[in-house]
Amino acid sequence: MARVGESVGSGHRLGRRAIPTLKKITEAFEQFLHGQKLRLTKQRLEILRLIYATHKHVSAEELYDRLHGDGRASALRISRATVYRTLSLMAEGGFVQALEIGRDRGTLYEHTLGHEHHDHMICIECGRIIEFHDDELEQVQARAIKRQGFREVSHRLNVWGVCARCQKAGKSGSGGGPVSAERGRDQAGD
């Protein structure tokens, strides 16, 4: 049974910084499934491909929609249930990570392999999610946690505030600025 985050790093240790090819990722996934005595199905593969081809944070619903919108996928019907099941399976295996931005919408996911650990800043004006990484911060964090006698498996730092762009736009003042209109749709071209 896969452990929450430890499983990452047990089997599929492909590059920590190099961006792995889809082939490598697929192999790692295959290996993971095999280790768990689970099967490699078309659906799982398709979802894996899609989420690794997407360079933004996606919800299960969004994935589901896209799995249907695309022409190629039309041949393969993937149910909502399977999307959710697969997503949670991939989360266990460390292939994706749930974000848990305190949004109204559902959980967002991002792929993790070849994606160095990072934290998130969520702009309360425009809704954009910005990733950042800071070595010093990570170190101090790890030290602080260890100091508590806690053995860390994973952590998540979310910061809410106003992004640089919105600050410049001047909306960041005080009044009741309308908190953006939905989401910053930066649809990656896939």
Partner DNA sequence: CTTCTAGATGAGAATGGATCTCAATCCAGA
Partner DNA sequence: TCTGGATTGAGATCCATTCTCATCTAGAAG
Q: Exactly one of 28, 48, 60, 129 binds DNA (CB under 7 A); which one?
A: 60
Report the alpha-carbon distance of residue 172 to residue 166 in Å, rounded. Answer: 6
Q: Exactly one of 71, 102, 170, 189 binds its own copies (CB under 8 A); which one?
A: 102
Report the alpha-carbon distance of residue 61 to residue 18 in Å, rounded. Answer: 29
Query: In degrees rounded to 5, what are phi and psi of residue 171?
Result: -70, -10
Does 154 bind its own copies (CB under 8 A)? Our answer is yes
Q: Who's near 40: CB < 8 A, 6+ residues apart?
A: 29, 30, 33, 34
| Window of 13-21, 23-31, 41-49, 122-130 that interacts with its own copies by CB under 8 A | 122-130
Does 110 bind its own copies (CB under 8 A)? Our answer is no
Number of alpha carbons in the 13 Å side-chain half-sphere of residue 98: 18
Q: Exactly one of 105, 118, 146, 156 binds DNA (CB under 7 A); which one?
A: 105
Q: Exactly one of 19, 22, 53, 76 binds DNA (CB under 7 A); which one?
A: 76
Does 151 bind DNA (CB under 7 A)? Our answer is no
Does 169 bind its own copies (CB under 8 A)? Our answer is no
Q: Residue 60 or residue 166: which is nearer to DNA going by CB?
A: 60
Q: Choosing among its own copies, DNA, none, which partner's interface includes residue 164 (Cβ < 5 to 8 Å by kind)?
A: its own copies
Q: Exactly one of 85, 115, 117, 171 binds its own copies (CB under 8 A); which one?
A: 85
Does 99 bind DNA (CB under 7 A)? Our answer is no
Dig out the tokens for 57 from the structure: 């944070």
Q: Exactly one of 37, 72, 147, 181 binds its own copies (CB under 8 A); which one?
A: 147
Q: Who's near 87: CB < 8 A, 6+ residues apart?
A: 47, 60, 63, 96, 109
Report the alpha-carbon distance of residue 183 to residue 167 in Å, rounded. Answer: 17
